[in-house]
Structure 1
Amino acid sequence: MTQTTRITTPFTAQSTAAEVLEGVDLRGRRAIVTGGASGIGVETARALAAAGAEVTIAVRDLDAGKRTAEDIAATTAGAPVLVAPLDLADQASVAAFVAGWEGPLHILVNNAGVMACPETRTPEGWELQFATNHLGHFALATGLHPALAAAGGARVVSVSSSAHLRSPVVFDDIHFKERPYEPWLAYGQSKTANVLFAVEAGRRWAGDGITVNALMPGGIPTGLQRHLEPDYIERRRALGNSTGVTWKNTEQGAATSVLLGASPLVEGVSGRYFEDNQEAEVVESGEGRGVAAYALDPEAATLLWQVSADLLDL
């Protein structure tokens, strides 16, 4: 489809994932949700399974994954929910997951992430948030590209954040080797990378019938905030509308993910950024709402792809 206008849908910030997929039949389709055993990942997987998809939740904690799979199966009339190990910060783990996947893949939801953690580096020397949130998912998606291409009309969903407004990708010092480490700048940079990935993957993979979009799920209290001050959520809520962030429960937080992953309303849409089940408006600066122009910059997207491929020796 020709994308010339901002995409809107009948759904709102209060819509749940189940409501977004009501009446959608995903039988015969296969989906992967990273981080599917916690937060909005659980409800993303649950909604896809309830619509009939075979869902694999890719998780670090297999026990938690099994408990989640059992819970989802019990609440979705026994829809198949599989569990597989995946540590996005460990490239060997990503490679093993990709090697173990067989057959087509219709929906890939890159949902897992780490936020505002203390300075931590992978064995390669990469900053952990960039390594996990972007490089891990980049390696996963590119590794699974043949499976996505084989599916015909596959969709990739990149869960970003309004925190991308805090920082572009600083190509001169991605891993904070020269500048002082700042947790929120590192997180923001990784979330900008999630959007740029959608822009470039959407362009590169269009000929394979694969669409790729990014999103802001909203403000949802989950384990993602485990590195923050205990009263962080309460303080942010107290600021109310001044932050521009819509606070949601996990069922509402998963709605935009499943919209992009499976709704016929966005069939053929690619390389875009959504929030509250609508395509976001481009903003020059701000906090909470909109998508930064630098996150949609095609030249930055191409450069990030090249840098990522070089880092991963692809």
Structure 2
Amino acid sequence: MMVSMAGFTLNDTCIKLLSGSLGLAQVVFLRGLLVSVLLYIVGRRLAAFSHRLSRRDLRIIAVRTLAELGATYFFLTALFHMPLPNVTAILQALPLSVALAAALVFKESLGWRRLSAIAVGFAGVMLIVQPGGEGFSVYALYALAAVGCVTMRDLAARRLSPEVPSVAVAFITATSITFVAGLILAFEMGEAGAGGKPLSEISWPETRLILGAALSVLAGYLASVMCMRVGEIGVVAPFRYTGLLWALVLGWAVFDYWPDGMELTGATIVVAMGLFTLYRESRLRRGAA
């Protein structure tokens, strides 16, 4: 899980470095092409495409793909305009939002301890966002929208049949997002050449960053799937928060940025409440077993 979080954060770093020279649609399209090819190779090796998907699973995958598309747009837009550690810290509220949404949508039980942790955790998010403060950025709302979309994506994934291969779902999602990004890119470049560069004008440093983003996100995904299938969720899940440590280090080393005291306090609260929520879920799961 620590390797997975490192992969995802390195991907975010590469994408943010590209934000000054390439448009959002072009970055998503070029990265998506590479990721789709790599996932296809991995899927063929694992025989992930031999499983016949039911109509129910196809509908769920469609909902999951739409949610992933929204998450990609909102998260990368926020990442283009906000410091890496701040966007990553807001995304750490995901376990809290998933627990709350599961209780509201699927009527899963949620005791007063976890409800209190969720409330305190979202208060920590407000310390990071700082609405009305001098450091407030409207793109923090994009990061919050990304949390909402990822929550919807994860809830949809919970409803997939257990036998559906994860790599096949990832491949369908990646190719769908790449296709949509390609359509947007074609439209943007048709408008007086705006929105992206011709391939011949993309420099070698930019190409290296695109390759780095694709390989990093693939490594992050595969490592996440492998550890979640083998490790006990209650033990593995807390290590997701090492992504924030990676974001702090890379934000300082690559972008020369370090969050202020208010942002660090908010991030600490979010992580602490997330860990408590995971701990309570693990205890309840063990008790039920």
State the TM-score, normalizing by the size of structure 2: 0.32
Higher strand share: 1
Higher helix share: 2
**Larger RCO (alpha carbons 8 Å, 6+ apart):** 2
Query: Which of structures 1 and 2 has the bigger CA Rg?
Result: 2
